[in-house]
Structure 1
Amino acid sequence: MAETQGKVITCKAAVVWGPKVPLVIQEICVDPPQKMEVRVKILYSSICHTDLGCWNGTNEAERAFPRILGHEAVGIVESVGEGVKDVKEGDYVIPTFNGECGECKVCKREESNLCERYHVDPMKRVMVNDGGTRFSTTINKDGGSSQSQPIYHFLNTSTFTEYTVLDSACVVKIDPNSPLKQMSLLSCGVSTGVGAAWNIANVKEGKSTAVFGLGSVGLAVAEGARARGASRIIGVDANASKFEKGKLMGVTDFINPKDLTKPVHQMIREITGGGVDYSFECTGNVDVLREAFLSTHVVSP
Structure 2
Amino acid sequence: MSTAGKVIKCKAAVCLEVKKPFSIVEIEVAPPKAHEVRIKILATGICRSDDHVVSGSLYSPLPCVLGHEAVGVVESVGEGVTSVKPGDKVIPLFVPQCGECSTCLNPKANMCSQNDLGGASGLMPDGTSRFTYKGKPVHHFASTSTFTEYTVVHENAVAKIDAAAPPEKVCLIGCGFSTGYGAALNTAKVEPGSTCAVFGLGGVGLSVVMGCKAAGASRIIGVDINKDKFAKAKELGVTDCVNPKDFDKPIQDVIVEMTKGGVDYSFEVIGRIDTMTAALASCQLNYGTSVIVGVAPSASEITFHPMLLFTGRTWKGSVFGGWKSKEAVPKLVSDVMTKKITLDPLITQTLPFDKINEGFDMLRSGKSIRTVLVF
Fold shared per TM-score above 0.5: yes
SS at match of 1:4: coil
Corresponding residue number in structure 2 for 1:137: 133
Contact 1:106 1:114 in 2 (8 A): yes
User: Of 228, 243, 247, which aligns to 1:260?
Assistant: 247
- List runs of 5+ in structure 1 lacking aligned partners: 139-147
Please say if 1:194 is aligned against 2:181.
yes
* Structure 1 or 2: more helix by fraction: 2
Seen in structure 2, the aligned counterparts of structure 1 residues 86 and 248 have a Cα distance that, compared at 3 Å, is: farther
Matches within 5 A, 1:2-21: 3-21=2-20
For the aligned residue pairs, the C-alpha RMSD in angstroms reads 1.7
Indicate yes or no: 2:51 matched with 1:52. Answer: yes
Whether the 8 Å CA contact 1:99–1:120 is kept in 2: the answer is: no
Query: Which 4+ runs in 1 deviate beyond 4 A?
Result: none
2:92 to 81, 87, 95: 95
Distance in 2, Cα, partners of 1:53 & 1:119: 16
The partner residue of 1:208 within 164, 171, 195 is 195
Identify the residue that residue 237 of structure 1 maps to in structure 2: 224
TM norm structure 1: 0.90
Alpha-carbon distance between aligned partners in 1 of 2:62 and 2:102, rounded to the nearest angstrom: 33
Which AA in structure 1 matches 2:103? V
Deviations 1:168-209 (A, max 9, x none): 111122223233212222211111111211111111221111
Q: Which amino acid aligns with 2:219?
A: R
Listed one character per residue, the Cα deviations across residues 266-291 of structure 1 (whole Å, up to 9, x for unaligned) are: 22112212110000011112222222
Instruction: Provide the secondary structure at the position in 1 that maps to 2:104.
Output: coil
- Residues 110-136 of structure 1: CA deviation (Å, up to 9, x unaligned): 1211212235345121111x3111111
Q: 2:83 aligns with which of 82, 86, 98?
A: 86
The one of 65, 73, 97 equivalent to 2:70 is 73
Q: Is the 8 A contact 1:121 1:155 kept in 2?
A: no
Asked if 1:37 corresponds to 2:24, the answer is no
Higher RCO (C-alpha under 8 Å, 6+ residues apart): 2
Amino acid at match of 1:219: L
Range 174-183 or range 157-166, more displaced: 174-183
Moved more, 174-183 or 151-160: 174-183
Q: 1:21 to 1:269 in 2, by over 3 A?
A: closer
Distance 1:293-1:282 versus aligned 2 partners, 3 A rule: same
Q: Which residue of 2 aligns with 1:217?
A: 204
Residue 163 of structure 1 aligns with an amino acid whose one-letter code is Y
- The residue that corresponds to 1:300 in the other structure is 287
Ranges in structure 2 where 5+ consecutive residues have no aligned partner = 289-375
Amino acid at match of 2:161: I
Conserved? CA contact 2:252–2:279, under 8 Å: yes
Percentage identity across aligned positions? 50
8 Å CA contact 1:92, 1:175 repeated in 2: yes
Q: Give the one of 140, 150, 157 matched to 2:137.
A: 150
Q: Does the 8 Å CA contact 2:60/2:121 hold for their aligned counterparts?
A: no
Q: 1:242 to 1:295 in 2, by over 3 A?
A: same
TM superposition shift of 1:101: 0.4
Larger Rg: 1
Cα deviation 1:220-258 (Å, max 9, x = unaligned): 111111111111111111112212211232212111222
Where 1:234 maps in the other structure, the secondary structure is strand
Q: TM-score, normalised to structure 2's length? A: 0.73
